[in-house]
């Protein structure tokens, strides 16, 4: 089901852990399946005085694919300028892993979102210019998060209510 | 982290702890089946010649062995190809045959998908389906069944033991209530048959599903017990085999294997080492089901105790006592089930999870949610199911590896 590369990254993930006082943090969750991914970045300046990702680490609560995509995106992003890092999309992640099962493709979206959010967080914290595209993406991620969270809340509430009251679910048409 | 030496050690012998998913065919079963592929290949429907006759005899003998294991009559056992088929036949067959009497069907919220989805399909055909809640252990309250039965109720289908969490439902009580109210009672015993005693008469069961491949028989054989006189429609229409309830040329090798598997479960011959007076070994005949159940219960209890003691923030799913002897199911905080299963597999341990990530629909287990777990909690579930070839040293090995696996994954997780 998984490629060798996915399993390699899953079993021995790269750049796993936390960065103390990160310059940017991206916290995303795919609450459809329940996976959560946190990405931390440290930003430096290269010789051309371009901002680049000096260090990057992740923490992930999720499946094999979620952990492997987290690991590979840190490899792909490390050392890259912010501009170049933002070009890492889900297709690039999937390709680098030698493919993902169709049902797991959403994990690659989660990783790309986490990186974008980390960069967005860095730029907005430092009151830097944020491209319209990135702003749009941030709005989308925020909106999706809210939507899914709302759906999720109802789901939990319904279950809790059912058990509290011992009420039967009547599946009338 | 797990040491390399442990990994290599285990490459030699893998440990299978997913017996609830399926079991290997017992070599004695395979041996019994073999002639029915080659020499005894006849069609039991062609009983005018000896080729058909000898196979017909084998079929009816198998039916008798299995019927007696359930306390049923042999004319009440119908062979099918899978537990899914048996459950579909039970629900749809009873529903359509008794539509003139009523259209209300009661199931529990922890049924296997094949019961659940059969019921949902019936709902789409105009039947009314009521799903009963369960308590935190996954138990249905018989009083809820009694309250739910209405004038137009035709069928109650509550599983004997749950496939995920192993909880054993109070089907004797439920059966009694159904009998009192003249409502058909079906139970899916795919997980319990051959593992804990069943008597269809004492338990007031009208229909029962059981499967071969869960008890060291081959895949492709299952049964539906249908009490004599029950009004039921077949799913298939054809040449009248299996009392007209399941027309199709019967899968003789699989059925013969199924019967042999039942026989082994029932009267297992155990070689018992007696320490008294230095007698090396004695062959004794035991009630196999009970004996094996005691052995597995002991191993399973050690496993549960060990896991809960060694792994902080770990919880048991299902009932602590009213559960199948071979089932252990946990949830671990802050880690995801699929990644536990995958990591265990790299150490040669086969297990199972009901996390959303492992399901094709990306939904957490309906069983765990019905027991009151939040989706994020169901995310960290792990099922370990034991079987005939599980040894004490296997459990020791799991208790050595699993805590390390959970610890490693927690290190990766943002929640700790």
pLDDT the model gives residue B360: 81
- Using the beta-carbon criterion (under 8 Å), do A63 and B412 form an inter-chain contact? no
Of A16, A33, A36, A130, catalytic? A33
- Same-domain status, B237 and B352: no
pLDDT the model gives residue A148: 62
Among the residue ranges B118-127, B221-230, B282-291, B378-387, the one predicted with the least confidence is B282-291
Determine the average pLDDT of the residues in B328-338: 95
Kindly report the CATH number assigned to the domain that includes residue B287: 3.90.1150.10
Residue B169 inside a domain? The answer is yes
Residue B121 inside a domain? The answer is yes
Closest by Cβ to B123, choosing from A106, A156, A173? A173
- For B195-241, what is each residue's pLDDT tens digit? 999 999 999 999 999 999 999 999 999 999 999 999 999 999 999 99
Which tokens hold the place of A91? 């297709």
* Signed CA dihedral, B403, B405, B406, B411: sign only: positive
pLDDT the model gives residue B270: 40
Kindly report the CATH number assigned to the domain that includes residue B168: 3.40.640.10
- Same-domain status, B251 and B305: no
pLDDT of residue B277 exceeding 70 = no
CA-wise closest residue to B184 among B91, B76, B290: B91
- Same-domain status, B125 and B206: yes
Range list of H helices, A89-131:
90-96, 105-125
Number of domains forming the structure of chain B = 2
How do beta strands B314-316 and B327-332 pair?
A: antiparallel
- Same-domain status, B351 and B300: yes
Residue B402 inside a domain? The answer is yes
- Biggest distance spanned by C-alpha atoms of chain B: 72
From edge to edge, which strands make up the β-sheet containing A24-30?
A: A24-30, A35-45, A51-61
Could you tell me which residues are beta bridge partners of residue B80?
Answer: B222
Residue B22 inside a domain? The answer is no
pLDDT the model gives residue B284: 40
Banded model confidence at residue B10, pLDDT cuts 50, 70, 90: very low
- Same-domain status, B372 and B342: yes
Banded model confidence at residue B266, pLDDT cuts 50, 70, 90: confident
**Listed residues B207, B235, B265: the one ending a domain:** B265
Banded model confidence at residue B242, pLDDT cuts 50, 70, 90: very high
C-alpha span between B195 and B189 (Å, rounded): 10
- Same-domain status, B384 and B324: yes
Q: What percentage of chain A exceeds 90 in pLDDT?
A: 72
Determine the average pLDDT of the residues in A21-48: 90
Query: Are the C-beta atoms of residues B380 and B333 closer than 8 Å to each other?
Result: yes
Distance from CA of A156 to the nearest CA of B (A): 6
Query: Are the C-beta atoms of residues A56 and A15 closer than 8 Å to each other?
Result: yes
Distance from CA of A148 to the nearest CA of B (A): 13
- Same-domain status, B261 and B375: no
C-alpha span between A29 and A35 (Å, rounded): 6
Determine the average pLDDT of the residues in A4-13: 97
ipTM of the complex: 0.85
- Same-domain status, B401 and B368: yes
pLDDT of residue A172 exceeding 50 = no
Residue B271 inside a domain? The answer is no
pLDDT of residue A17 exceeding 50 = yes
- Same-domain status, B259 and B206: yes
**DSSP string for residues in B377-407:** HHTTEEEEE--TT--HHHHHHHHHHHHHHHH
Q: From A6, which residue of chain B is nearest by alpha-carbon distance?
A: B342
Angle between helices B288-310 and B392-412 in degrees, nearest 10: 30
pLDDT of residue A14 exceeding 90 = yes
- Same-domain status, B141 and B160: yes
Range list of H helices, B212-287:
252-266
pLDDT of residue B329 exceeding 50 = yes
Residue B206 inside a domain? The answer is yes
Residue in the block written with tokens 């602590």? B320
Identify the structural domains of chain A with CATH numbers, from first to last. Answer: 4-165 (3.90.1010.10)
- Domain span at residue B394? 4-17+277-412
Which tokens hold the place of B342? 């995958």
- Same-domain status, B35 and B154: yes
Q: Which of A26, A100, A171 to mutate to test the interface with B (most CBs of B within 10 A)?
A: A171
- Using the beta-carbon criterion (under 8 Å), do A35 and B136 form an inter-chain contact? no
- For A75-123, what is each residue's pLDDT tens digit? 999 999 999 999 999 999 999 999 999 989 989 999 999 999 999 999 9
**Listed residues B208, B235, B265: the one ending a domain:** B265
Q: If you compute the radius of gyration of chain B from its CA atoms, what whole number of angstroms results?
A: 22
pLDDT the model gives residue A171: 36
pLDDT the model gives residue B294: 93
Closest by Cβ to A34, choosing from B131, B144, B376? B376
Residue B281 inside a domain? The answer is yes
- Same-domain status, B248 and B129: yes
**Listed residues B245, B265, B285: the one ending a domain:** B265
Q: From B334, which residue of chain A is nearest by alpha-carbon distance?
A: A61
């Amino acid at each position: 089901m998984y490629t060798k590369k996915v399993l390699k990254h899953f079993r021995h993930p790269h750049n796993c852990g936390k960065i103390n006082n990160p310059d940017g943090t991206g916290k995303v969750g795919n609450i459809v399946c329940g996976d959560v991914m946190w990405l931390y970045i440290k930003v430096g300046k290269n010789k051309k005085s371009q901002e680049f990702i000096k260090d990057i680490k992740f923490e992930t609560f999720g499946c094999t694919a979620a952990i492997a995509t987290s690991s590979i995106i840190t490899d792909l992003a490390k050392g890259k300028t912010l501009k170049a890092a933002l070009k890492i999309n889900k297709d690039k992640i999937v390709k680098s892993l030698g493919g993902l099962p169709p049902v797991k493709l959403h994990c690659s979206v989660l990783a790309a979102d986490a990186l974008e959010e980390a960069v967005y967080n860095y730029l907005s914290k430092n009151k830097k210019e944020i491209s319209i595209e990135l702003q749009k993406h941030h709005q989308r991620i925020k909106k999706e998060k809210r939507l899914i969270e709302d759906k999720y809340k109802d789901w939990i509430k319904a279950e809790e209510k059912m058990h509290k009251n011992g009420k039967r679910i009547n599946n009338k048409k | 982290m797990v040491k390399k030496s442990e990994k290599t050690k285990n490459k030699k012998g893998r440990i299978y702890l997913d017996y609830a998913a399926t079991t290997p065919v017992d070599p004695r079963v395979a041996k019994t089946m073999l002639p029915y592929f080659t020499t005894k290949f006849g069609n039991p429907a062609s009983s005018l010649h000896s080729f058909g006759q000898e196979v017909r005899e084998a079929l009816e003998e198998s039916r008798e062995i299995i019927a007696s294991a359930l306390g049923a009559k042999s004319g009440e056992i119908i062979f099918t190809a899978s537990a899914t088929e048996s459950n579909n036949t039970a629900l749809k067959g009873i529903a359509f045959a008794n539509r003139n009497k009523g259209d209300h069907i009661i199931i529990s919220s922890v049924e296997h998908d094949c019961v659940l989805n059969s019921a949902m399909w019936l709902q789409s055909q105009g039947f009314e389906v009521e799903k009963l809640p369960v308590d935190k252990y996954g138990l249905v309250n018989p009083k809820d069944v009694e309250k739910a039965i209405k004038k137009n109720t035709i069928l109650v289908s509550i599983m004997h033991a749950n496939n995920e969490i192993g909880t054993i439902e109070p089907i004797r009580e439920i059966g009694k209530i159904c009998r009192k109210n003249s409502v058909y009672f079906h139970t899916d015993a795919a997980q319990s048959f051959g593992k804990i005693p069943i008597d269809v008469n004492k338990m007031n069961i009208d229909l029962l599903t059981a499967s071969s491949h869960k008890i060291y028989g081959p895949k492709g054989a299952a049964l539906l017990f249908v009490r004599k006189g029950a009004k039921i429609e077949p799913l298939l229409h054809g040449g009248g085999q299996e009392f007209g309830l399941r027309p199709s040329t019967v899968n003789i090798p699989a059925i013969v294997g199924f019967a042999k598997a039942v026989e082994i479960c029932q009267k297992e011959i155990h070689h018992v080492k007696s320490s008294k007076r230095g007698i090396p070994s004695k062959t004794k005949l035991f009630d196999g089901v009970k004996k094996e159940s005691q052995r597995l219960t002991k191993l399973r209890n050690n496993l549960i105790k060990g896991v809960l003691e060694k792994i902080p923030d770990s919880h048991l799913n299902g009932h602590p006592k009213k559960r199948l002897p071979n089932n252990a199911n946990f949830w671990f905080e802050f880690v995801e089930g699929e990644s536990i299963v995958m990591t265990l597999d790299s150490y040669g341990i086969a297990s199972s999870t009901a996390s959303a990530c492992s399901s094709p629909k990306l939904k957490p287990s309906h069983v765990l949610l019905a027991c009151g777990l939040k989706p994020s909690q169901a995310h960290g579930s792990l099922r370990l199911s034991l079987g005939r070839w599980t040894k004490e040293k296997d459990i020791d090995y799991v208790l050595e590896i699993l805590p390390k696996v959970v610890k490693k994954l927690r290190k990766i997780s943002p929640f700790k």
